[in-house]
Chains A and B, each alone.
Chain A
Amino acid sequence: MVKIFAAGVLMIFLLLIVEMCRRQKLTFKYALGWLVFAIVGLAAVIFDTYVAMLSAWCGFIVTSNFIFFCLMIFFIILSLFLTTFLCQQNKRNDAMAQKIGILELELQDLQNDIKKRHG
């Protein structure tokens, strides 16, 4: 029952991501992480015995702890990735603002020149 519930939730999540890509609310580049998350999650639900084996091999006594640990790592990496992306966008924004400022000044100078030439 739990397996069906978990698989159902993950399936809905997967379809939601696909739909968001279809509606162009998410680009593939940024949807990829979520798609991988949903697919790996589904695989873990279907092959749960392998998850339990891997958990034991890593030294976890309770499998759910292992799953929570994996989730935590996933979200930490995702946050780091998003922070990097944010910094990159911030830098691009700044560069664009500087460019706009310079171009605006140039435009103003040109307009003043034209005004002078035409009296």
Chain B
Amino acid sequence: MNSQKILAIIPAFNEEHCIAKVVQELRSLNFTIDVLVVDDGSSDRTGHVARSAGAQVLTLPFNLGIGGAVQAGYQYAFRYGYDIAVQIDGDGQHDTAFLQRLITPIVKGDSDCVIGSRFLSPSAGYRSSIVRRIGIHFFAGLISLLTRVRVTDPTSGFRACNKKVIKVFAQDYPLDYPEPEAIVEVQRAGARVSEVAVDMRERFAGRSSIRYVKTLYYMVKVTFAILLRMLPAQKRG
């Protein structure tokens, strides 16, 4: 594990109450991991707090949304030749205790992209509301049907990928609500996608950005985007 250069990408938008804890957890792991917080145009002290906690902070001049922020992280990882990039939410939902489990298939060369799934095995962890779970299972079914890759938690943003996938994401990453679409993109790029079981926690503070009408937009947008990705590849400008 030590020979691999690993970067944790944490997209954060107004997460001043959670970000320090997430960074500290990562820095206390028993293997070396560089921590990059992508401050997505926060209006609070997210960047300052993250920097004080010991993270590198990539500050975007304005809010790009989760896709743009994560892609900036992958661009950084690509630019600096990282072997593995790990995506972790800035709200504390992702338990870093499972990080090693997430990275192991990549280190062993068994997978190019590993997703941390809440639904792979029965657990006591946080699994979100029933409406969300219906949506998650819908996308899981759709992606599994279209790509023939079994996915149980396509909306999980807790994922790790190797150089091959870092390059793909640095060049092209879905903009809004990117997680399910990114799986299809990776699969279409010829990379191997797999899942490992993880537990998730409730966010340390704040509320999810996907609520009310946005849920409907999310369902329509992501379904459309997934179907679009299945069409023959076009050069994306």
Which A residues contact B (CB, under 8 angstroms)?
88, 91, 94, 97-98, 100-102, 104-105, 109
A104–B64 Cα gap in the complex (Å)?
A: 16
Say how far B75's CB is from chain A's closest CB, in angstroms. 6
Given A98-B60, A98-B71: 16 more A-B contacts, CB < 8 Å: A88-B237, A91-B237, A97-B60, A97-B64, A97-B72, A98-B68, A98-B72, A100-B60, A101-B59, A101-B60, A101-B61, A101-B72, A102-B79, A104-B58, A105-B58, A109-B56
A88–B237 Cα gap in the complex (Å)?
A: 9
A109–B34 Cα gap in the complex (Å)?
A: 14
B 35-92 contacts with A by CB, 8 A: 38, 56-62, 64, 68, 71-72, 75-76, 79
Say yes or no: is B225 at the interface (Cβ < 8 Å to chain A).
no
Q: With A102-B76, A105-B76 as given contacts, are A94 and B57 in contact (CB-CB < 8 Å)?
A: no
Say yes or no: is B175 at the interface (Cβ < 8 Å to chain A).
yes
A101–B11 Cα gap in the complex (Å)?
A: 13
Contact with A along B167-209 (1 / 0, CB 8 A): 0000000010000000000000000000000000000000000
Check A104 against B59 for contact (C-beta < 8 Å).
yes
Residues on A with beta carbons closer than 8 Å to the beta carbon of B72: 97-98, 101-102
A12–B62 Cα gap in the complex (Å)?
A: 41
Check B64 against A98 for contact (C-beta < 8 Å).
yes
Contact of B61 among A88, A91, A100, A109 (CB under 8 A): A100
Check B61 against A97 for contact (C-beta < 8 Å).
yes
Residues on A with beta carbons closer than 8 Å to the beta carbon of B59: 101, 104-105
Contact of A105 among B56, B61, B62 (CB under 8 A): B56
Contact of B58 among A88, A91, A94, A102 (CB under 8 A): A102
A105–B75 Cα gap in the complex (Å)?
A: 13
Find the A residue at minimum CB distance from B62: A97
Say how far A111's CB is from chain B's closest CB, in angstroms. 14
A109–B57 Cα gap in the complex (Å)?
A: 10
A67–B64 Cα gap in the complex (Å)?
A: 43
Residues on A with beta carbons closer than 8 Å to the beta carbon of B68: 94, 97-98
A52–B31 Cα gap in the complex (Å)?
A: 80
A100–B76 Cα gap in the complex (Å)?
A: 12
Check A105 against B175 for contact (C-beta < 8 Å).
no
A98–B175 Cα gap in the complex (Å)?
A: 13
Residues on B with beta carbons closer than 8 Å to the beta carbon of A88: 237
Say how far A82's CB is from chain B's closest CB, in angstroms. 18
Question: Can you report 13 A-B residue pairs in the complex whose CB atoms are below 8 A from each other?
Answer: A97-B61, A97-B68, A97-B72, A98-B68, A98-B71, A98-B72, A101-B58, A101-B61, A102-B75, A105-B56, A105-B57, A105-B59, A109-B56
A105–B7 Cα gap in the complex (Å)?
A: 15
Residues on B with beta carbons closer than 8 Å to the beta carbon of A100: 60-61
Say how far A56's CB is from chain B's closest CB, in angstroms. 41
**Interface pairs A-B: 8 shortest CB-CB:** A98-B72, A101-B60, A101-B58, A105-B58, A94-B68, A97-B60, A97-B61, A94-B64
A91–B65 Cα gap in the complex (Å)?
A: 12
Residue picked from A88, A97, A109, most chain B C-beta under 10 Å: A97
Find the B residue at minimum CB distance from A99: B75
Say how far B149's CB is from chain A's closest CB, in angstroms. 28
Residues on A with beta carbons closer than 8 Å to the beta carbon of B237: 88, 91
Residues on B with beta carbons closer than 8 Å to the beta carbon of A97: 60-62, 64, 68, 72
